[in-house]
Chain A
Amino acid sequence: EPEVTQTPSHQVTQMGQEVILRCVPISNHLYFYWYRQILGQKVEFLVSFYNNEISEKSEIFDDQFSVERPDGSNFTLKIRSTKLEDSAMYFCASSESVGDDSPLHFGNGTRLTVT
C-alpha cells in the first residue's frame, strides 16, 4: 500500500540553527500537510499546501516556518531558527483531494530535538 515517507526519522539540532524536514507524499495525492505533536500532547495542525501554495496555516506556523515543494515528489518543512520549544514530532500527511472521501494519510514522523 502506498505510504507517506519522512526523513530523517530523528534530527538533533542546536537552538538557532535551521532545519529542513523532508516528506514524500503518496504519489497521486494533491494536498499536503504538516502537523506536529509535542511529546505526550495532541496532534496540532501547522499548514496545508495545494497547487504550490499554502492553503491554510495555524497560528503556530509563524514566520520562522516555511514549506516548499521543490520538485514533483518532495514536500519540505523548513524551520529557520529553531527554538527549544520546537522540539516535537513533525508529521507530514497527504490526501487525494479535499472534502468527503479524502482522509489524511500520515507518515511516521520526524522527531526534532532542539538543544
Chain B
Amino acid sequence: GQQLNQSPQSMFIQEGEDVSMNCTSSSIFNTWLWYKQDPGEGPVLLIALYKAGELTSNGRLTAQFGITRKDSFLNISASIPSDVGIYFCAGSQPGDNYGQNFVFGPGTRLSVLP
C-alpha cells in the first residue's frame, strides 16, 4: 500500500534554532496534514495543505505542499522547549475520498536542548 517516509527520524537541536523536516512518497497525495504528538496524547493538527505548491504558516510553523504532490516539508522557526514531540505527516490519495483513509508517516522525533 501507499507509504510515507519522514526524515530525519529524530533530531536534537538547540533552543532558538530553526528546524526543517520533510515527508516524501512515491505516490501522489491530494492532502497533506502535519500533526504533533506529545507523550500519551493524541495527534494535534498543526497545518493542513490542500493544493500543490501551497505554502501555509501557523505561527512559527510553515509547511509546503510539494509541486509534484509527492512531498511536503515542515519548518519550525526559533524552536522553544515545548516544540519537543513527535511530528507526523499524513496524507490522503486521489480516489480515496469517501473513506478518507489517511496514511501516516513514521514520525520525526524532535528534542530541544536548552
Chain A residues within 8 Å of B, Cβ to Cβ: 4, 6, 31, 33, 35, 41-45, 48, 50, 55-56, 58, 91, 95, 98-109, 111
Contacts of B102 in A (CB 8 A): 45, 104
Contacts of A107 in B (CB 8 A): 42
The reply to whether A98 and B100 form a contact with Cβ atoms under 8 Å apart is yes
**CA A58 – CA B96 in complex, angstroms?**
13
A-B contacts, 22 listed (Cβ < 8 Å): A33-B100, A41-B106, A42-B104, A42-B105, A42-B107, A43-B88, A43-B90, A44-B104, A50-B98, A56-B100, A56-B101, A98-B99, A98-B100, A100-B31, A103-B33, A103-B45, A104-B45, A106-B42, A106-B43, A108-B42, A109-B40, A109-B41
**CA A91 – CA B31 in complex, angstroms?**
20
Chain B residues within 8 Å of A, Cβ to Cβ: 30-31, 33, 35, 40-45, 48, 50, 88, 90, 96-107
The CB with the most chain B CB atoms within 10 A, among A33, A56, A91, A103, is that of A103
**CA A97 – CA B102 in complex, angstroms?**
14
The reply to whether A91 and B98 form a contact with Cβ atoms under 8 Å apart is no
The reply to whether A42 and B106 form a contact with Cβ atoms under 8 Å apart is yes
**CA A7 – CA B16 in complex, angstroms?**
38
Q: Which residue in B42, B97, B99, B106 is a CB contact (below 8 Å) of A91?
A: B42
Contacts of A111 in B (CB 8 A): 40
Min CB distance, A37 to chain B, in Å?
8
Q: Which residue in A4, A6, A48 is a CB contact (below 8 Å) of B100?
A: A48
Q: Which 3 A-B pairs have the closest CB atoms?
A: A56-B99, A106-B42, A55-B99
Min CB distance, B41 to chain A, in Å?
5
**CA A104 – CA B100 in complex, angstroms?**
9
Q: Which residue in A33, A43, A55, A58 is a CB contact (below 8 Å) of B98?
A: A55
What residue in chain B is nearest A110 (Cβ atoms)? B42
**CA A100 – CA B41 in complex, angstroms?**
26
**CA A99 – CA B99 in complex, angstroms?**
9
Contacts of A41 in B (CB 8 A): 106
**CA A105 – CA B31 in complex, angstroms?**
15
